[in-house]
């Protein structure tokens, strides 16, 4: 999904500069890599362990690239209808997924925290068009992506999910270069729900807008890392994603539209180059991996001790 810029915001008293707006959105991408937790370590671990084996399949890896390609062709076929339908779908699904993420799927999740979705939604509705309202809507959209990313990482083998993330970035880049995303995105961002309800189908903040898919791919990478590597490497990949995204933003001096999925894919590639054996080994979290069996006690062993010892400019309203 591309990132784009607003050239004028005459209806607002405060206009956030584009470089600040896009930098904050890039930092949100980095945060989405760090926030997801491993579902095997969450309160949903027991229920996820009872999932039928047939639900865990490499076929789920087609969701990231297919989400971009299907959006373009469906939106071009029925531009206004599909955009309006996605708007109301996001209005209902995003708060529910955000509550699921806050209560069960982020690191150190607590069920009561899911109720924080209510004040966020009220703020996004009451201050629609203001920075506080946009921040609340962005938080809801980002948290919903966390839920989708963790669930996808639970159902997809790591190597296949990594391939799906890379394929999504390639498809997004190709569609941006060929300018096939412009019309569908314009229609999607122009769609407004009734009664002044918040727009949750994209991530708008200040003078920039980032597509929902740009947040989703970052959360999918976070879910993948949470399901395969330790917390320390996940945080390092999150920092790397933020740095790459901020560096990628410098290209806005040359072009008006960029695929914001590329920095996330680059962070994944660099992480794979360093920790490839872990992704190939399986999808267990470090906490869920079986511990090595203790060696038989030896005469010299002390009592009680084990001797084994990781866009486009927004149009003016």
Nearest to 23 by CA among 240, 303, 211, 248: 248
At residue 205, the 3 state secondary structure works out as strand
Asked if pLDDT for residue 211 goes beyond 60, the answer is: yes
The predicted structure's pLDDT at residue 217: 97
With beta carbons less than 8 A apart as the criterion, state whether 237 and 51 touch.
no
With beta carbons less than 8 A apart as the criterion, state whether 251 and 177 touch.
no
pLDDT digits (tens, 9 = 90+) for 255-295: 888 999 999 999 999 999 887 655 554 444 444 444 454 44
With beta carbons less than 8 A apart as the criterion, state whether 15 and 9 touch.
yes
Cα–Cα distance, 124 to 243 (Å, whole number): 28
Cα–Cα distance, 12 to 178 (Å, whole number): 33
Nearest to 205 by CA among 19, 11, 36, 39: 19
Nearest to 221 by CA among 148, 287, 316: 148
pLDDT digits (tens, 9 = 90+) for 8-43: 333 344 678 999 999 999 999 999 999 999 775 555
Cα–Cα distance, 169 to 213 (Å, whole number): 10
Global pTM exceeds 0.85? no
**Residue 312 pLDDT class (50, 70, 90 cuts):** low
Phi, psi at residue 286, to the nearest 5°? -55, -35
pLDDT digits (tens, 9 = 90+) for 108-154: 889 999 999 999 999 999 998 899 999 999 999 999 999 999 999 99
The predicted structure's pLDDT at residue 222: 97
CB atoms within 10 A of CB 278: 19
With beta carbons less than 8 A apart as the criterion, state whether 136 and 127 touch.
yes
Q: Which residues are 4's β-sheet partners?
A: 209
Nearest to 250 by CA among 262, 239, 265: 262
The predicted structure's pLDDT at residue 40: 59
Higher pLDDT, 241 or 317: 241
């Amino acid at each position: 999904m591309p990132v784009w810029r607003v050239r004028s915001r005459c209806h607002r008293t405060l206009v956030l500069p584009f470089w600040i707006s896009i930098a904050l959105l890039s930092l949100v991408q980095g945060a989405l890599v760090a926030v997801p937790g491993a579902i095997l370590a969450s309160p949903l671990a027991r229920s996820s362990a009872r999932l039928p084996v047939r639900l865990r399949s490499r076929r789920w890896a087609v969701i990231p690239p297919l989400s971009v390609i299907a959006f373009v062709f469906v939106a071009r076929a029925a531009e206004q209808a599909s955009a309006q339908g996605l708007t109301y779908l996001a209005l209902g699904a995003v708060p529910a997924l955000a509550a699921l993420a806050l209560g069960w799927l982020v690191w150190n999740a607590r069920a009561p925290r899911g109720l924080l979705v209510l004040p966020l939604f009220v703020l996004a509705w009451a201050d629609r068009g203001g920075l506080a309202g946009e921040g609340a809507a962005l938080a809801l959209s980002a948290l919903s992506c966390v839920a989708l990313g963790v669930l996808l990482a639970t159902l997809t083998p790591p190597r296949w999910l990594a391939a799906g993330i890379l394929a999504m970035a390639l498809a997004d880049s190709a569609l941006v270069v060929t300018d096939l995303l412009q019309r569908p995105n314009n229609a999607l961002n122009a769609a407004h729900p009734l009664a002044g309800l918040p727009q949750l189908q994209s991530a708008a903040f200040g003078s920039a807008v980032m597509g929902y898919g740009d947040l989703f791919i970052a959360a999918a990478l976070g879910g993948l890392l949470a399901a395969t590597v330790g917390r320390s490497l996940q945080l390092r990949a999150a920092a790397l994603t933020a740095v790459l995204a901020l560096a990628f933003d410098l290209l806005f001096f040359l072009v008006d539209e960029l695929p914001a999925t590329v920095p996330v894919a680059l962070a994944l590639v660099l992480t794979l180059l360093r920790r490839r054996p872990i992704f190939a080994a399986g999808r267990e979290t470090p906490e869920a991996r079986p511990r090595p069996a203790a060696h038989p006690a030896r005469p010299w062993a002390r009592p009680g001790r084990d001797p084994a010892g990781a866009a486009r400019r927004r149009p003016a309203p």
